[in-house]
């Protein structure tokens, strides 16, 4: 999306409410002749899994040269043999994953320019919670702008999807309202973030 895209500061296009016990969202790239893909699993744990909350998902398109394996970085999906059976990928694709536990969290992952991505929410492997016991609702999707907290450099965030993770503390209206206040560009400068392979998981805050 070009820089001339009309600015919608911290505002999102409201999407239809969608309930999925095992949520999978697929982005189909325009370049069908090079369908390489990031296959991403967002593992939920702690208060986010047990009580519910909000997750902002921010796919980030990167040059193909920057989309390469980093085996030294954490990637929980490497230990999840279920994925090879349920979600097989091609040899040139990559499996990425993060662990999200804060009740208001942001997940960013890289996907290759000209390629595509697919992601899903699953309970963490250690939680013992069956996938069918965990549900999610897509409440908003769109784009936003952000400004560096110190330099004020502008950043356009072309794709954002906001999910309410179901649980006793789940509140779809609150998840939707957070879209106008949570900053989504300069994540490392603002939040407590943990790096995973070509991915980032940030805690915005615990729900009050």
Which parts of the chain are beta strand (E)? 12-20, 24-27, 37-44, 53-62, 94-100, 104-112, 116-123, 136-147, 154-165, 192-196, 199-205
The contacts of residue 198 (CB under 8 Å, 6+ apart) are: 38, 67, 70, 73, 94, 96, 109, 110
Residue 178's SS3 state is: helix
What pTM did the predictor assign? 0.84
Domain boundaries, the chain: 20-136+161-205
pLDDT tens across the length of the chain (208 residues): 333 333 444 443 333 333 333 344 444 433 355 479 999 999 999 999 999 999 999 999 999 999 999 999 999 999 999 999 999 999 999 999 999 999 999 999 999 999 999 999 999 999 999 998 899 999 999 999 999 999 999 999 999 999 999 999 999 999 999 988 999 999 999 999 999 999 999 999 886 5
């Amino acid at each position: 999306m070009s820089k001339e895209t009309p600015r919608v500061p911290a505002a999102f296009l409201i999407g239809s409410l969608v309930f999925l016990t095992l949520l999978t969202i697929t982005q189909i790239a325009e370049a069908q002749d090079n369908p390489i893909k990031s296959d991403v699993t967002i593992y939920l744990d702690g208060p986010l899994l047990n009580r519910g909350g909000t997750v902002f998902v921010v796919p980030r398109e990167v040059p193909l040269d920057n989309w390469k394996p980093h085996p030294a970085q954490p990637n929980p999906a490497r230990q999840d043999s279920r994925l090879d059976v349920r979600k097989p990928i091609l040899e040139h694709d990559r499996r990425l994953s993060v662990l999200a536990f804060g009740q208001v969290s942001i997940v960013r992952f890289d996907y290759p320019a000209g390629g595509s991505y697919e992601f899903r929410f699953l309970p963490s492997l250690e939680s013992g919670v069956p996938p069918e016991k965990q549900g999610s609702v897509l409440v908003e999707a769109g784009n936003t702008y952000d400004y560096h907290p110190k330099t004020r450099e502008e950043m356009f965030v072309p794709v954002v999807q906001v999910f309410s993770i179901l649980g006793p503390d789940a509140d779809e209206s609150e998840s939707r309202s957070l879209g106008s206040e949570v900053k989504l560009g300069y994540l490392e400068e603002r939040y407590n973030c943990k790096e995973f392979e070509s991915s980032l998981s940030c805690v915005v805050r615990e729900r009050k």
